[in-house]
């Protein structure tokens, strides 16, 4: 590769993007879709540095440094802060992008564009329809089905899936050295470099995830509704904890489905058929959908855990 991206995996996509830069064939807007924490936002940030750096992406100049820290005057980074993006935010953004820029480009990076409700997306669409010379939009989403098709049709689309475990393990080994928790982190991260890196850096987050995995395993191993319901009571008011739980559950079940099809004597096969696990996965996705739409969280979570009581 031409540039030192320091991104885990996704080599084909990065190669293709480098080709676009080399051939001076950049689009005025990109959409990076794919799995949560697969590296989309980091890629958008590095791409901004590559485009803005006057020294062929040196990593050390004022432009590179200030993009890294989020203070570059011509590179607006809108990180996902868990809040939806309103029409007024979009208008403010458009106003900013119309100011004359000092740098080579004016770059706007928006993490998780699905945070814009439909009417804000419609308003944003107008900006995408009238590209202004030096402005480049780098948008990311982990919920492509929530991005208007009209937006999708006006951007160049790259998809970033999960990264192979061995690529992830190699990266962690070379970045953090040999550490006892590495194998567990790779298992928990399920191909998401962003998650793996944050678990390596933050021992508290690692212990919390480990606890969640243990909890989910216990839920699947035992019929104990009162324990399950009291767990729900403990997290029902904390949106972040609910999301961590649902995400961990999703990854746990993905791995379980894989293990069920590859291991003859998996201990949980005594309790569940593969079909039951696939069905549970379905219920889990529905739970996530309902919770996003503000259905009673407690009921939705309890209903999910009731499904873990079922025997074959």
Residues that bind Zn ion (CB under 5 A): 53, 55, 58, 61, 64
C-alpha span between 11 and 287 (Å, rounded):
34
Least Å distance, CB 59 to Zn ion, is 6
Least Å distance, CB 151 to Zn ion, is 31
- Residue whose entry in the numeric block shows the structure tokens 């991005």: 147
Least Å distance, CB 4 to Zn ion, is 11
Least Å distance, CB 67 to Zn ion, is 9
Least Å distance, CB 63 to Zn ion, is 5
Least Å distance, CB 61 to Zn ion, is 3
User: Which DSSP string do the residues of 121-142 spell out, in sequence order?
Assistant: HHHHHHHHHS--TTEEEEEEES
Torsion of CA 102, 96, 114, 13, to 10 degrees: -10
Pick between residue 51 and residue 53 the one whose CB is nearest to Zn ion: 53
Residue 239 — φ and ψ, nearest 5°?
-55, -35
Pick between residue 55 and residue 150 the one whose CB is nearest to Zn ion: 55
Pick between residue 60 and residue 173 the one whose CB is nearest to Zn ion: 60
Pick between residue 58 and residue 299 the one whose CB is nearest to Zn ion: 58
Instruction: Report helix, strand or coil for 187.
Output: helix
78 neighbors 94 (Cβ within 8 angstroms):
no
Please, which residues have CB within 8 angstroms of residue 241's CB and are 6 or more apart in sequence?
234, 235
Strands (E), 165-230: none
The CA distances from residue 110 to 31, 33, 155, 232, in Å, are 10, 12, 13, 33
Pick between residue 43 and residue 199 the one whose CB is nearest to Zn ion: 43
Least Å distance, CB 157 to Zn ion, is 28
b/e map of 107-142 (b: 16 or more CB within 10 Å)? bbbbbbbbbbeeebbebbeebbeeeeeebbbbbbbb
Pick between residue 134 and residue 266 the one whose CB is nearest to Zn ion: 134
Dihedral of alpha carbons 107, 113, 115, 120, sign: positive
Pick between residue 73 and residue 82 the one whose CB is nearest to Zn ion: 73
C-alpha span between 167 and 8 (Å, rounded):
7
Pick between residue 3 and residue 252 the one whose CB is nearest to Zn ion: 3
Least Å distance, CB 46 to Zn ion, is 11
């Amino acid at each position: 590769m031409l540039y030192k991206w320091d991104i885990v995996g996704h080599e084909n996509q990065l190669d293709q993007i480098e080709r676009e830069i080399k051939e001076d064939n950049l689009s005025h807007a990109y959409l990076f879709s794919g799995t949560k924490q697969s590296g989309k936002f980091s890629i958008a940030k590095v791409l901004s540095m590559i485009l803005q750096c006057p020294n062929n992406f040196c990593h050390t100049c004022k432009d590179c440094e200030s993009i890294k820290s989020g203070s570059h005057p011509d590179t607006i980074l809108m990180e996902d802060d868990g809040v939806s993006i309103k029409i007024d935010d979009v208008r403010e953004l458009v106003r900013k992008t119309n100011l004359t820029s000092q740098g080579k480009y004016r770059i706007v990076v928006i993490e998780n564009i699905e945070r814009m409700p439909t009417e804000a997306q419609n308003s944003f669409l107008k900006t995408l329809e009238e590209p202004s010379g030096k402005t480049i939009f780098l948008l990311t989403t982990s919920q492509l089905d929530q991005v208007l098709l009209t937006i999708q049709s006006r951007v160049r689309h790259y998809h970033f899936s999960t990264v192979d475990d061995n690529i992830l393990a190699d990266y962690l080994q070379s970045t953090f050295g040999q550490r006892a928790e590495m194998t567990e982190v790779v298992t928990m991260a399920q191909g998401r470099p962003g998650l793996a890196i944050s678990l390596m850096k933050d021992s508290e987050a690692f212990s919390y995830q480990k606890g969640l995995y243990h909890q989910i395993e216990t839920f699947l191993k035992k019929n104990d509704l009162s324990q399950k319901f009291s767990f729900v009571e403990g997290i029902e008011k904390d949106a972040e904890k609910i999301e961590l739980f649902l995400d961990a559950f999703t990854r746990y079940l993905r791995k379980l489905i894989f293990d069920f099809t590859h291991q003859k004597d998996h201990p949980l096969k005594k309790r569940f058929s593969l079909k039951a696990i696939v069905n549970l996965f379905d219920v889990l996705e529905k739970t996530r959908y309902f919770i996003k739409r503000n259905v009673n969280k407690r009921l939705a979570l309890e209903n999910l855990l009731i499904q873990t009581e079922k025997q074959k």
